[in-house]
Amino acid sequence: MRIKTLYILILILFSSCGIRLVNYKKARNLDLNKSYKTLLNKESEIELEKYYLDPENIIDITANRKTKTLHISQLNKESESFNLTEIESEEFKKRYNMNNRDSISLIVMNGILVHKKERKEYRIEHNAIKSLLVLKDADTTILNCSGNEGKNVLIILTE
C-alpha cells in the first residue's frame, strides 16, 4: 500500500511541473502556434519556424508550459548549417552539385515560398535536407509567382 502511494505521489509531482519531452514536429508546432521561446543547446535563442534542424542530431526537446520555453539539446552542437542567402555561393553550389551559372530567383522550402527579403532569416542544417532540386527555366506561373518566368527555382525539402 505504501509503495502504491509513493508511486502516485511521484506521478503527481512529475505531471504537475509542466515540463515534458516532446518530439521535433510537436516542438515546431508549439513554436509556431503557441509562441514558445526556443533555446538551442541552452545558448542561443532561435525561431524554430525558420530554423531547420537535423532530427537525427537532437538528443531531446523539453517543453515548459509555465515559462513557454522549448529547450533543444543536440548531439553535435557544431553541426554545419547555412543561411538561405548563401545559395548563390560557390561552396553551396559545389556541395549540392549545382551549376555555378545557376542563378536562383525563387526558393520553395517545404512547399512554402521564401521571399528574397526573408532569406537571411532562414537557417538550415545541411543534414536536415532530405531533397534539393533546381528547376531550370521553370514556368513560375505554375507556382503562382508572376513576373519571374524563365528563372530557376530551388526546391528544398526537410520533411
pLDDT value at residue 59: 92
Is the Cβ–Cβ distance between 81 and 42 less than 8 Å?
no
Q: What is the distance between the alpha carbons of residues 48 and 28, in angstroms, rounded to a whole number?
A: 6
SS3 state at 151? strand
Sorted by sequence, the CB contacts under 8 Å of residue 137 that are 6+ apart come out as 150, 151, 152
Each residue's pLDDT tens digit, 4-58 = 776 676 666 555 556 778 888 888 877 766 778 889 998 888 888 889 999 999 9
- The mean pLDDT of 115-134, rounded to a whole number, is 90
The rounded radius of gyration (Å) of the Cα atoms in the chain is 20
Work out whether strand 58-64 and strand 131-138 pair parallel, antiparallel, or are unpaired: unpaired
What pLDDT is stored for residue 145 in this prediction? 58
> What's the pLDDT at 68?
86
Cβ-based neighbours of 159, under 8 Å, separated by 6 or more = 110, 130
Q: Residue 42 has what pLDDT?
A: 86
Name the residue with cell 532530427: 55
pLDDT mean over 63-69: 86
Q: 64 vs 146, which has greater pLDDT?
A: 64
Tell me the backbone φ, ψ of residue 152, rounded to 5 degrees.
-90, 140
